[in-house]
């Protein structure tokens, strides 16, 4: 039985679960049934996908008599889809495990249980689809299911708004992809992917298709300036769904881009990489800045997703440029970096969202400024969150560092370009990446430090309790994976090479054969990194230092009130808040991402009231791009609406006018 | 003989167009009705002539219907309505008579142009008839558009229909003309009844006039 | 002549007889049942046409094209009758309608089905014209049945504009005859589709063009293309909901069918101007215009009426674009739209009944108070805006893609219009289906069966089209060029 | 093989042992230049030992992270420091010495130190952390850009390779290298909280950054952190030495003698640098906190300019 068939069987099972969820949502067995089933199914599909990635997927395409009649629904798993299947199903399995525990706190399960498996099925189907119709159908189905999940808490207005913006943007993206496919498919509707590959479009058409694909996939992945829906929608959903949307669904969007840009849209043209690089770098920078300044834990994570997607697209852009200029070794490196970062981001972003969900259930708070001191109350959650934060901040020896290191290595190869534009653009993008990474570290110091460290800033935070075992198990698993991939990157890179081979036609040298598990993606002399060694050294020296000191110096420890330069203030409000923490960065970079309005209301001398600092942040891009659009539509609607209130005679004059016009046209026809 | 047939038909059809212009020109309701009755007479004459020329007897029926219904029944009914609703006064035009006439002329010119493009396939007589019929139709529409008054709108509609009948009669050996004219008479009757029932005293608008505005703002 | 009565005879005689019977039947329950029965029988008869199609004669013509329409017509007519049976019961209780009204209503319903069948079956353009006029008049009366100020206004508007449309259509018909007469010869032959399509190449092109202009405007008024659409929203909003469903689901299609037939004539004549661009333009205008109009709607039925305008625009646009793919898509879209939109009207009708209002602003949180209705509304809106896995998605997919292959620059405004409409409909749908509930929470009385049946069909069609149906549609598509 | 291991260990111990001496030299220089006798050179060693022997006092609100941070910071700094070739470029683990990795290790140290600053929940800690993360956010990219420059010149991010290349006569005098050097010095100053960015010897609330983060630390924790800070200083100095003044260091498969000689040369260079730093610090005044971004941003621009010049001027071999 081929991998395709197995995957489809799994998807069928998921859809069946969706039905079951609709039926048993109210019953007590509903939740364990749905999430347990989803866990099992996605674990199985994970195994299948891993197998397909390792030993190559089914050779031939599986065609079902569904979808477009004369083409049928085509399914195929090649190395690329196999890799993304691994990413999606890994996150799905983790999310399901997490939800087994977390789901207990769900307000109205009947709005979540039916759609959760449907969502998983949608994502899987997109990845295995091998013709435009099936692809778009699954794609929009995925959006629809996730929309329903965003609307699960529909009683809150901003959620409804989030759902609306999300759905409209999603459909916009779908139309863009539809256009892309239409262009590639050409006059005689070659909707099957093989047919598209067989007859690639002409250069000009390919360019348009590429642009459409970038817009369509980008709007789903959350590229600036099409990202506005993402920080609204991702936090609105239940946390395990937020994790999937950020960790998995954005990756499906990236898959769509890779599939069209590298696979279907014909031979590459280096000029096309320029927009990708620019947009990627911009998304990274703007995303991280907004994450650094926002005050809602889950929204911070959503913004940071935008940032990581930006990094991924930078890597993709480099890969594309190298590929177009026949520098395939470098292209392979960049592509590997991109895929690895996709995998890593799926890991730690899901982990972080799980943690945020645990905090939310424990305290009912998402605002950083109401939390604090959680590390003492939820130690395990805190620990895993810390691992996730460290990983996403690209700290060695965790996995985040490996992929960003590879991206930088790829940037360092860019002098090989013969085109001046790229020569100049590449280092600029590289600097942007570096800045983004550094800001990300600052961002997660804040995102972890404010809620988990210090003293509780609210009653809720005071009374927080540790999360349940299953949720913790899910987080623990992901945290462990983050560490493992960070310490043994070589194996991960080798696992990716089939996918890279498929896209680039080359892959980075085999890493497992390197001594001491080092990775040297280009050549040992060019730069190498050894996760194991670094980890070992750190652990060794840290433990050595502590033992030596405890042995030969003092190990005594005394608890006492904080010193705080001599005059400590017991009120927890004297601690640094999220806003005050990000104030320096806001001063320096704030205007890049937001329209920042700080209003300080200082009591005049002698007044006894407290001083206030009011801070308003509004998204520049929303103001510049979307507000005008909305206004135009509204105005036009108002103007045209007059036509609803004409009198019969006036309507008749319209008809009459139409007739006369047509007659005149007829009379003046050549 | 051929020539004569052609000339008479031409004359009558032209007369029909002329009548339409007169209708546009009238500003008093009674005069309007009388003119319309006159047009109906002319119509029935021309239809009858067509019947004679084509030797199509069923057209005589059409002619009779046209005469009885349009020249007598409807005008009388409308008279009654006018008295009933007490709207015996000037007709309000949306645009003045002068511009209306000019527009009418333009329309006639237009229909001529359109028709002249037709290759000689259809025979000349039919073609001329057609040109006039089209003009009558357009003028009828124009009347419906520029007149505010319900009665004059009905009249406009009927003169439009006259154009149709003319065309139908002109089309050699076209079946169903009778049925069609009957169907149309029914239609017109319904319109008239509607006007009468709903007391559309002033203008078609009045049905959806001020009374409804509030509801409208809420409504749609 | 077989022992069984010819299917077409059944299609015409049965509704007529039923209408006569219903006109005198006092008990509304019985008459509702009879109504359903008759509609069902008609549906069976039409289905039999797939198997045995009678040869065309001077009066009737059954070919691949109109069978699709007929079957769709009778099917929706049947489900609508089922829905109306329960719907009407509620109207009686609330006293909006009386038994006397209902006699009239049911009789008219069957008469409407009769006239539409006639229009579809007729081989004679004159006969078709008469049938469509009859259908119009019937619906006019049914729209006005509530006799509220608004209803009367709507009916009147519909009536007047409809009559003008009819007049124009008739003029076009006469022109067609005059174009045909020199070639085909005098008499009835000049009005039969069968002979017309044969000799069309020989017709005078300019005369054909002129005729088509009048026919497009005349029947286009019935199709509800902007700017001839004025009657449509009010007629949908003010009439009884089953009639709104029938209007959107059927009558528009019938008028569209007429336009298509004449398009065939023009296509057949090489020297006549290509009707495609004209239709495409009108369609595009309707799509974008209706999409904008959707944003300001406060009445839910009126809103969906505008969405009907939009979809008719899409269909006409697709037929205008032409080519087997687009034609196939257009036919599919028409079928899908009929099913979906009528189902939506069933849903909306029930919603209006339980909530006692058609004002969008007063309907909130349906998924909480009436899960079935609420979710059907959600599903229906998604289906109608063309989200998968529903059938409209497939047709819109094909339309947009084939437009790209034929006239790329027309595809962008089309996509824009569709997206715009989606935005508006989803916005209102969310407001009605979600949020804190408002209004009465009384359970819905009418049956949800027709709704579910339609949605099931639409859902299946989006994922799987049975091969025979596909081949059928492809025949037609090729026949339409 | 054994010998290699020995030398590797030697290197590892060297960086930790010599760090306090460097700090001592700097302090002594400053004292002398300001006409004070100042502490003896070995005072830093004594301070650390004394602190290590004291009992540690930890605030009530602190979490477990607070106790562990010092060792984490220490370890990451130490590993980073020992990865930098001091007296020889061909040690056992030289190939693990990737510049980007070293920067990231220091970043890890900063990350945890900032967290520790927030942990106790005092206003000063937060103040320190937030400023530190801003400076870090500017310094790190500057470093990366400098790495670009070096990598372009030497064709590697491998420090040993870079150093080896720098000693070879293939490298002439380059504008971009000069820019990189200046940028690197600025970053070093910022990262180590030296004047004019920060003044390690004051506790003036409004200006302190590094000291504010570690305000709550005492006893052995403070000792470890201080030691880490000293190592960081010596790390940057030896980085500058190894990249820009590598002469004397033992290049590929050198004899024992070479290596010993290299070690001596290294120590001398280090102490000279210490004196220079002391002199520099006494000669200028500390700047306002919000001038610092411009200062470090300057480094970023400078480094980027240098990299750009190379990018357009030559392609990598």
B148–A649 CB contact, under 8 Å: yes
Name chain A contacts of D211, Cβ cutoff 8 Å: none
> Which residues numbered 154-193 in A keep a CB inside 8 Å of some CB on C?
154-155, 157, 160, 163-164, 167-168, 171-172, 175, 178-179, 181-183, 185-189, 191
Residues of C in contact with A160 (CB under 8 A): 430, 434-435
Residue B121's pLDDT is: 52
E strands of D1-147, at which residues?
Answer: 56-59
- pLDDT (average), residues A398-422: 88
> What is the distance, to the nearest Å, from the Cα of residue C299 to the centroid of all Cα atoms in its chain?
21
Contact C233 A154 (CB under 8 A): no
Task: Find the length of chain D.
Answer: 317
Q: How far apart are CA C315 and CA C332, in angstroms?
A: 9
Q: Residue C388: which of A137, A648, A652 has the nearest Cβ? A: A137
User: Nearest CB to B191: which of C129, C163, C183?
Assistant: C163
pLDDT of B210: 36
Check D312 against A524: CB less than 8 A apart: no
Residue C305 · residue C232 · CB < 8 Å: yes
Facing D137 at nearest CB: one of A413, A431, A442? A442
CB contact under 8 A, C227 and A140: no
CB contact under 8 A, A640 and C394: no
**pLDDT number for residue B57:** 82
Closest CA to A247 of A145, A143, A348, A166: A348
pLDDT at A317: 95
**Average pLDDT estimate for B63-75:** 86
Q: Please, how many CA atoms are within 13 Å of residue C49, restricted to the half-sphere of its CB? A: 32
Whole-number pLDDT of residue B87: 67
Average pLDDT (A567-588) is 85
Give all chains having 3 or more CB-to-CB distances under 8 Å with chain D. A
* Residue A200 per-residue DSSP state: P
Our CA-based measurement puts residue A412 at a distance from the nearest CA of chain D, in whole angstroms, of 6
C239 touches chain A (CB under 8 A): no
Check whether B213 has a pLDDT greater than 50.
no
Chain A neighbors (3+ CB pairs < 8 Å): B, C, D
Please report the residues numbered 101 through 140 in chain A whose beta carbons come closer than 8 angstroms to any beta carbon of chain C: 132-133, 136-138, 140
CB contact under 8 A, A581 and D130: yes
Q: In the prediction, which pLDDT does C417 show?
A: 95
Which among B117, B144, B205 has the least Cβ separation from residue A647? B205
C444 versus A262: which is more confidently predicted? Answer: A262
User: φ and ψ at C22, to 5 degrees?
Assistant: -65, -30
Tell me if B216 and A663 make a contact (CB, 8 A cut-off). no
Among the ranges given (A394-403, B74-83, B125-134, C231-240), the one the predictor scored with the smallest mean pLDDT: B125-134
Q: Three-state DSSP class for A615?
A: strand
Chain D CB within 8 Å of residue A560 CB: yes
* Residue C472 φ/ψ, nearest 5 degrees: -55, -55
CA gap B30, A457 in Å, rounded? 89
Q: C413 to chain A: nearest residue by CA?
A: A175
State pTM to two decimals.
0.92
Q: Which residues of C touch B121 (CB under 8 A)?
A: 179, 182-183, 203-204, 207
Whether A557 and chain C come into contact, CB under 8 Å, resolves to no
Between positions 519 and 538 of A, the ones with CB within 8 A of D are 524-530, 533-534, 537-538
Mean pLDDT in residue range B77-96: 73
Q: What are C192's strand-pairing partners?
A: C124
Question: A51-73, pLDDT tens digit by residue?
Answer: 998 887 666 788 888 888 888 89
C164 touches A: beta carbon within 8 Å: yes
Interface of C with A in 75-134 (CB under 8 A): none
Dump pLDDT digits (tens) for D5-60.
888 888 889 889 999 999 999 999 999 999 998 889 999 999 999 999 888 999 88
Q: In this complex, does chain D touch chain C, defined as having at least 3 beta-carbon pairs under 8 Å apart?
A: no
Q: Is A664 on the interface with B (CB under 8 A)?
A: yes
CB contact under 8 A, A651 and C422: no
What integer is the mean pLDDT of B105-121? Answer: 79
Q: What is the pLDDT of residues B165-202, one digit of tens each?
A: 888 887 777 777 777 777 777 777 777 777 666 655 44
> Which residue, among B54, B111, B114, B122, would best test binding to C if mutated, counting the most C CBs under 10 Å from its CB?
B122
Q: For residue B211, what pLDDT band results from cuts at 50, 70 and 90?
A: very low
Please report which helix (H) or strand (E) contains residue A616, including its range: strand A612-619
Q: Do B204 and A647 touch (CB under 8 A)?
A: yes
Å between B118 CA and nearest CA of chain C: 5
DSSP string, chain B: -HHHHHHHHHHHHHHHHHHHHHHHH--BHHHHHHHHHHHHHHHHHHHHHHHHHHT-THHHHHHHHIIIIIIIIHHHHHHHHHHHHT--SBPPBSS-HHHHHHHHHHHHHHHHHHHHTS-TTS-HHHHHHHHHHHHHHHHHHHHHHHB-BHHHHHHHHHHHHHHHHHHHHHSTT-TTHHHHHHHHHHHHHHHHHHHHHTT--SBGGGGGSHHHHHHHHHH-
- Cα–Cα dist C192/C58, whole Å: 7
Lowest-pLDDT range of A105-109, A279-283, C395-399, D11-15: A105-109
Neighbouring subunits of C (3+ Cβ pairs under 8 A): A, B
Q: E strands within A30-161?
A: 62-64, 73-75
Instruction: Return the H-helix or E-strand segment holding A447.
Output: helix A420-452
Chain A nearest C-alpha distance from D230 (Å): 16
Distance from CA of A647 to the nearest CA of B (A): 5
Interface list for A 44-83 with C (CB within 8 A): 65-70
Confidence of residue A615 (pLDDT cuts 50, 70, 90): confident
Q: Is A646 on the interface with B (CB under 8 A)?
A: no
Low-confidence ranges of chain C (pLDDT < 70): 1-5
d(CA C144, CA C238): 8
B-chain residue closest to C207, CA distance: B118
Please give the residue that has the higher pLDDT: either A170 or B211: A170
Q: Which residues contact A167 (CB under 8 A, 6 or more apart)?
A: A143, A144, A147, C422, C426
User: C159–B191: do the CB atoms touch at under 8 Å?
Assistant: yes
Task: Mark yes or no for CB contact C167/B179 under 8 Å.
Answer: no
| Residues from chain C contacting residue B133 (CB–CB below 8 Å) | 171
CA B78, B80, B85, B86 torsion-angle sign: positive
Asked if A663's CB is within 8 angstroms of B111's CB, the reply is yes
- What confidence score (pLDDT) does residue D291 get? 84
Mean pLDDT of all residues belonging to chain A? 90
- Taking an 8 Å Cβ-Cβ cutoff, which residues of chain B contact chain A? 94, 107, 110-111, 113-114, 117, 138, 141-142, 144-145, 148, 153, 203-205, 207-208, 216, 220
Average pLDDT across chain B, whole number: 77
> Would you say A189 and A254 are in contact if contact means Cβ atoms under 8 Å apart?
no
Q: Give D35→chain A minimum CA distance, Å.
A: 30
Q: Residues of D with CB below 8 A from A435's CB?
A: 137, 140-141
The answer to whether A659 contacts B145, with C-beta atoms less than 8 Å apart, is no
A450 touches chain D (CB under 8 A): yes
Chain B positions touching A666 (Cβ under 8 A) are: 114, 117
Nearest Cβ partner for B220 among C167, C204, C298: C298
Cα–Cα dist A231/A162, whole Å: 9
Angle among Cα C31, C36, C42 to the nearest 5 degrees reads: 125
């Amino acid at each position: 039985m081929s991998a395709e068939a197995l995957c489809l069987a799994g998807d069928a099972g998921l859809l069946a679960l969706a039905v079951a969820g609709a039926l048993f949502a109210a019953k007590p067995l509903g939740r364990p049934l749905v999430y347990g089933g989803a866990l099992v199914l996605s674990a199985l599909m994970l195994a299948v996908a891993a197998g397909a990635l390792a030993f190559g997927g089914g050779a031939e395409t599986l065609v079902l008599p569904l979808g477009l009649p004369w083409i049928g629904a085509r399914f195929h798993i090649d190395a690329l889809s196999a890799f993304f299947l691994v990413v999606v199903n890994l996150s799905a399995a983790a999310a399901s495990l997490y939800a087994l525990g977390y789901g207990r706190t769900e307000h109205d399960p009947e709005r979540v249980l039916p759609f959760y498996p449907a969502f998983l099925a949608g994502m899987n189907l997109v990845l295995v689809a091998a013709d435009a119709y099936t692809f778009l159908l699954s794609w929009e189905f995925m959006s629809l299911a996730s929309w329903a999940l965003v609307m699960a808490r529909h009683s809150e207005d901003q959620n409804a708004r989030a759902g609306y913006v999300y759905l409209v943007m999603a459909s916009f993206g779908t139309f863009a992809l539809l256009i892309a496919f239409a262009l590639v498919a050409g006059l005689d509707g070659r909707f099957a992917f093989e047919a598209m590959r067989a007859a690639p479009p002409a250069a000009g058409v390919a360019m348009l298709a590429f642009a459409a694909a970038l817009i369509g996939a980008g709007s789903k992945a959350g590229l600036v300036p099409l990202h506005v829906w993402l920080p609204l929608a991702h936090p609105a959903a239940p946390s395990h769904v937020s994790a999937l949307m950020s960790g998995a669904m954005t990756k499906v969007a990236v898959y769509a881009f890779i599939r069209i840009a590298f696979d279907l849209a014909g031979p590459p043209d280096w000029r096309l990489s320029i927009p990708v690089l620019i947009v990627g770098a911009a998304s990274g920078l703007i995303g991280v800045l907004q994450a650094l300044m926002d005050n809602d834990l889950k929204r911070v994570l959503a913004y940071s997703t935008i940032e990581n997607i930006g990094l991924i697209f930078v890597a993709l852009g480099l890969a594309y440029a190298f590929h177009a200029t026949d520098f395939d070794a470098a292209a392979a490196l960049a592509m590997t970096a991109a895929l690895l970062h996709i995998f890593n981001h799926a890991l730690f972003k899901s982990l972080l969202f799980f943690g945020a969900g645990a905090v939310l259930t424990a305290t009912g708070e998402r605002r950083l400024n109401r939390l604090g001191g959680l590390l003492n109350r939820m130690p395990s959650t805190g620990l895993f969150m810390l691992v996730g934060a460290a990983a996403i901040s690209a700290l060695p020896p965790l996995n985040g560092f490996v992929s960003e290191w590879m991206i930088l290595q790829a940037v360092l190869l860019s002098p090989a370009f013969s085109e001046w534009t790229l020569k100049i653009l590449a280092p600029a993008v590289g600097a942007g990446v570096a800045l983004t990474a550094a800001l990300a570290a600052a961002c997660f110091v804040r995102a972890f430090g404010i809620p988990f460290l210090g003293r509780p800033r609210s009653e809720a935070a005071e009374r927080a309790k540790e999360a349940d075992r299953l949720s913790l198990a899910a987080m623990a698993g992901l945290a462990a994976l983050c560490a493992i991939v960070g310490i043994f990157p070589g194996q991960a890179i080798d696992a990716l090479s089939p996918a890279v081979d498929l896209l680039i036609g080359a892959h980075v040298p085999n890493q497992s054969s390197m001594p001491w598990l080092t990775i040297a993606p280009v050549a040992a002399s060019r730069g190498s990194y050894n996760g194991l060694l670094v980890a070992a050294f750190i652990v060794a020296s840290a433990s050595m230092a502590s033992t030596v000191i405890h042995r030969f110096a003092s190990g005594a420890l005394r608890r006492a009130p904080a010193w705080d330069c001599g005059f400590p203030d017991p009120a927890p409000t004297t601690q640094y808040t999220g806003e005050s923490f990000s104030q320096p960065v806001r001063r320096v970079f704030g205007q890049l991402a937001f329209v920042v309005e700080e209003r300080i209301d200082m009591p005049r001398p002698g007044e006894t009231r407290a001083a206030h600092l009011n801070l308003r942040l509004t998204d520049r891009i929303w103001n510049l791009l979307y507000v005008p659009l909305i206004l135009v539509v509204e105005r036009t609607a108002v103007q045209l609406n007059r036509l609803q209130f004409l009198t019969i005679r006036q309507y008749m004059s319209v008809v009459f006018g139409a007739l006369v016009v047509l007659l005149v046209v007829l009379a003046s026809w050549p | 003989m051929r020539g004569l047939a052609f000339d008479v038909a031409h004359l009558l059809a032209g007369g029909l167009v002329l009548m339409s212009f007169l209708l546009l020109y009238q500003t008093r309701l009674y005069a309007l009705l009388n003119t319309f009755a006159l047009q109906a007479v002319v119509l029935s004459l021309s239809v009858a002539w067509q019947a004679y020329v084509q030797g199509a007897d069923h057209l005589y029926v059409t002619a009779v219907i046209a005469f009885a219904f349009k020249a007598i029944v409807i005008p009388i009914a409308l008279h009654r309505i006018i008295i009933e609703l007490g709207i015996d006064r000037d007709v309000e035009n949306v645009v003045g008579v002068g511009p209306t006439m000019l527009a009418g002329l333009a329309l006639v010119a237009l229909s001529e142009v359109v028709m002249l493009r037709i290759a000689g396939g259809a025979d000349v007589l039919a073609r001329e008839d057609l040109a006039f019929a089209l003009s009558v139709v357009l003028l009828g529409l124009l009347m419906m558009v520029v007149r505010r008054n319900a009665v004059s709108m009905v009249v406009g509609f009927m003169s439009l229909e006259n154009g149709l009948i003319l065309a139908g009669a002109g089309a050699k050996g076209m079946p169903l003309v009778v049925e069609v004219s009957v169907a149309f008479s029914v239609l017109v009757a319904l319109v008239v009844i509607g006007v009468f029932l709903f007391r559309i005293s002033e203008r078609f608008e009045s049905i959806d006039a001020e009374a409804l505005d509030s509801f409208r703002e809420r409504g749609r | 002549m077989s022992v069984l009565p010819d299917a077409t005879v059944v299609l015409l005689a049965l509704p007529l007889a039923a209408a006569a019977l219903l006109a005198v039947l006092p008990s509304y329950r019985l008459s509702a049942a009879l109504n359903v029965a008759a509609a069902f029988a008609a549906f069976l008869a039409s289905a039999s046409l797939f198997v045995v199609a009678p040869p065309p004669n001077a009066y009737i013509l059954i070919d691949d094209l109109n069978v699709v329409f007929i079957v769709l017509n009778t099917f929706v007519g049947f489900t609508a009758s089922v829905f109306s049976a329960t719907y009407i019961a509620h109207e009686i209780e609330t006293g909006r309608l009386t038994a006397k009204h209902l006699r009239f209503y049911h009789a008219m319903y069957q008469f409407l089905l009769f006239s539409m069948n006639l229009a579809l079956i007729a081989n004679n353009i004159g006969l078709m014209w008469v049938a469509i006029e009859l259908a119009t008049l019937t619906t006019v009366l049914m729209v006005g049945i509530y006799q509220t100020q608004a209803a009367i206004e709507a009916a009147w508007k519909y009536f007047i504009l409809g009559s003008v449309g009819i007049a124009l259509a008739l003029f076009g018909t006469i022109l067609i005859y005059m174009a045909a007469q020199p070639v085909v010869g005098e008499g009835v032959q000049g009005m039969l589709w069968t002979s017309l399509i044969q000799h069309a190449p020989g017709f005078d092109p300019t005369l054909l063009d002129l005729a088509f202009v009048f026919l497009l405007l005349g029947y286009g008024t019935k199709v509800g293309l902007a700017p001839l659409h004025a009657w449509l929203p009010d007629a949908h909003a003010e009439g009884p909901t089953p009639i709104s469903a029938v209007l959107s689901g059927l009558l528009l299609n019938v008028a569209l069918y007429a336009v298509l037939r004449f398009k065939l004539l023009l296509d057949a004549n090489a020297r006549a101007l290509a009707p495609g661009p004209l239709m495409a333009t009108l369609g595009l205008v309707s799509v974008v215009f209706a999409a904008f109009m959707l944003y300001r709607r406060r009445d839910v039925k009126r809103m969906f009426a505008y969405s009907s305008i939009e979809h008719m625009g899409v269909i006409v646009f697709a037929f205008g674009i032409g080519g087997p793919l687009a034609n196939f898509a257009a036919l599919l879209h028409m079928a899908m739209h009929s099913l979906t939109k009528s189902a939506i009207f069933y849903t909306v009708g029930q919603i209006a009944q339980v909530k006692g209002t058609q004002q969008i602003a007063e309907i909130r949180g349906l998924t909480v108070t009436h899960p079935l209705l609420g979710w059907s509304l959600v599903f229906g809106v998604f289906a109608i805006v063309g989200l998968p896995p529903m059938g409209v998605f497939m047709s819109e997919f094909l339309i947009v893609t084939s437009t790209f292959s034929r006239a790329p620059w027309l595809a962008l405004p089309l996509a824009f219009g569709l997206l715009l409409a989606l935005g508006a409909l989803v916005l209102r749908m969310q407001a009605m289906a979600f949020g804190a509930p408002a209004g009465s929470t009384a359970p819905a009385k009418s049956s949800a069966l027709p709704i579910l049946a339609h949605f099931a069909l639409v859902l299946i069609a989006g994922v799987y089209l049975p091969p025979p149906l596909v081949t059928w549609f492809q025949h037609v598509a090729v026949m339409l060029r | 093989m054994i010998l290699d291991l020995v030398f590797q260990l030697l290197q590892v111990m060297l960086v930790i042992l010599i760090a306090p001496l460097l700090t001592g030299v700097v302090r002594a220089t400053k004292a002398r230049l300001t006409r004070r006798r100042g502490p003896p050179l070995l005072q830093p060693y004594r301070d650390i030992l004394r602190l290590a022997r004291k009992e540690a006092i930890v605030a009530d609100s602190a979490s477990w992270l607070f106790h562990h941070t010092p060792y984490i910071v220490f370890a990451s700094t130490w590993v980073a420091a020992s990865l930098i070739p001091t007296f020889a470029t061909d040690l056992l683990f030289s190939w693990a010495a990737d510049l980007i990795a070293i920067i990231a290790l220091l970043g890890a140290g900063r990350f945890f130190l900032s967290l520790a600053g927030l942990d106790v929940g005092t206003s000063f800690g937060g103040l320190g952390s937030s400023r530190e993360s801003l400076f870090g956010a500017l310094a790190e990219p500057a470093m990366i850009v400098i790495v670009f420059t070096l990598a372009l010149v030497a064709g590697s991010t491998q420090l040993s390779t870079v150093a080896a290349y720098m000693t070879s006569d293939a490298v002439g005098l380059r504008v971009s290298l000069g820019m990189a050097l200046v940028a690197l010095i600025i970053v070093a100053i910022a990262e180590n909280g030296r004047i004019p960015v920060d003044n390690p010897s004051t506790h003036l609330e409004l200006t302190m950054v590094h000291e504010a983060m570690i305000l709550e630390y005492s006893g052995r924790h403070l000792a470890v952190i201080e030691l880490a800070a000293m190592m960081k200083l010596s790390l940057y100095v030896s980085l500058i030495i190894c990249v820009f003044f590598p002469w004397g260091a033992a290049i590929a498969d050198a004899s024992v003698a070479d290596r010993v000689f290299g070690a001596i040369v290294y120590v001398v260079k280090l102490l000279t640098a210490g004196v220079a730093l002391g002199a520099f610090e006494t000669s200028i005044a500390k700047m306002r906190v919000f001038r610092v971004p411009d200062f470090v941003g300057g480094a970023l621009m400078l480094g980027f300019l240098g990299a750009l010049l190379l990018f357009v001027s030559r392609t990598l071999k």
